Amino acid sequence: MLLWAVVGVVLIGVVLLDAFETVVLPRRATHRLRLARLVLRSTWQLWSAPARGHWRSGDRRETYLSFYGPFALLLLIGVWSTGLIVGFALLLWGLDAHMAATGGDAGFGTALYGSGTTFFTLGIGDVLPHTALGRLLVVLEAGLGFAFLALIISYMPVLNQAFSQREVNVSLLDARAGSPPSAAELLRRHAGADFTGALAQWLREGERWSAELLESHLSYPFLAYYRSQHQAQSWLAGLTTILDVAALLLVGMDGAPTRPARHGVRHGAPCRRRPQPRAGRAAAVRCV
């Protein structure tokens, strides 16, 4: 029985550490063995299978893949909640905390049911602990469940706000570089008497957006799975356009603003080192 209690403690620790690294920690976790990584990679392979087959292009493919980001977030929240409920049930059952029900059954099923009602703070009262240790664990799980759900609820609006801020810059690029954006189209639309000044200003704006993009994807790794709202637009395509324009100005245009171009390459390259998740490939952005 004590072995199951140890398994429960390990499971609770793994879930809490993974949730902390994903939601709270404002930097990228370096170790590879993570619960979120296993869930996302396995589900992405299954979800993207139709996009690798008969939906290789078209609006239907983009619409289908756009559902994965929000779905994966809800799925991961469910995995975390299930892990905590099962972990506390194993802990209560392994330590023989004597969870007694009105029907008299005190097996693992009763402990699992009691753990679920405690975690979601339902307060039904049909399963009660009869030892001091059981009461302590029930109070601990109730407090942890309340804090966990509050943290997740507050995380989702912040994630949506970061996504909206990213998409504003992507939409602004449509009028300047076309859709999908390209370096040649952007240079053509900026041609004129004020070519140097306008291009320097755009590169400075692109430098700032690249830095914001890097920080937002470090703080909120799920943004890598959120696809752009409009067809033929992507934050990765916009970032690539900034780097292409900066590279062209540095190597092939006389009198071009080279200093903003160099700064744009320095800020844009770290977030472009690995590609955005697409069909057939799990999330591999450096920011993640």
Transcribe 201-231 into DSSP letters: HHHHHHHHHHHHHHHHHHH-GGGGG---SST
Q: Which of 68, 77, 20 is nearest to 282 (CA)?
A: 68
User: Same domain for 182 and 130?
Assistant: no
pLDDT at 244: 85
Model pTM score: 0.79
Residues 26 and 107 in one domain: yes
Q: What is the pLDDT of residue 264?
A: 65
Whether residues 258 and 173 share a domain: the answer is: yes
User: Which residue positions in the chain have pLDDT lower than 70?
Assistant: 27-31, 56-57, 98, 103-106, 193, 252-257, 263-288
Cis geometry, peptide bond prior to residue 180 (ω within 30 degrees of 0): yes
Are 180 and 134 members of one domain? Answer: no
Residue 274: predicted pLDDT:
45
Output DSSP code: residue 178: T
What pLDDT was estimated at residue 76? 92
Q: Does residue 108 contact residue 27 with C-beta atoms inside 8 Å?
A: no
Tell me the sheet residues that pair with 161: none
pLDDT given at position 62: 81
**Taking the CB of residue 17, how many other CB atoms lie within 10 A of it?**
15
Picking from 101, 127, 152, the residue at the C-terminal end of a domain is 152
Q: Do 148 and 181 belong to one domain?
A: no
Looking at residue 12, its pLDDT comes to 94
Same domain, 107 and 228: no
Considering the domain boundaries, does residue 238 fall inside one? Answer: yes
Q: Do both 96 and 56 map to the same domain?
A: yes
Residue 122: what pLDDT? 83
Cα separation, 135 vs 131, in Å, equals: 6
* Residue 109 and residue 81 share a domain: yes
Q: How does pLDDT run across 40-73, given as a tens digit for each residue?
A: 889 999 998 888 777 766 778 888 888 999 999 9
39 lies in some domain: yes
Q: In the prediction, which pLDDT does 24 show?
A: 83
From CA 175, how far away is CA 23, in angstroms rounded? 35
What is the per-residue pLDDT for 282?
A: 37
Structural domain count of the chain: 2
Q: What is the CATH number of the domain that holds 52?
A: 1.10.287.70
d(CA 201, CA 199): 5
Please give the pLDDT value at position 281: 38
Say if residue 131 is in the same domain as residue 241.
no
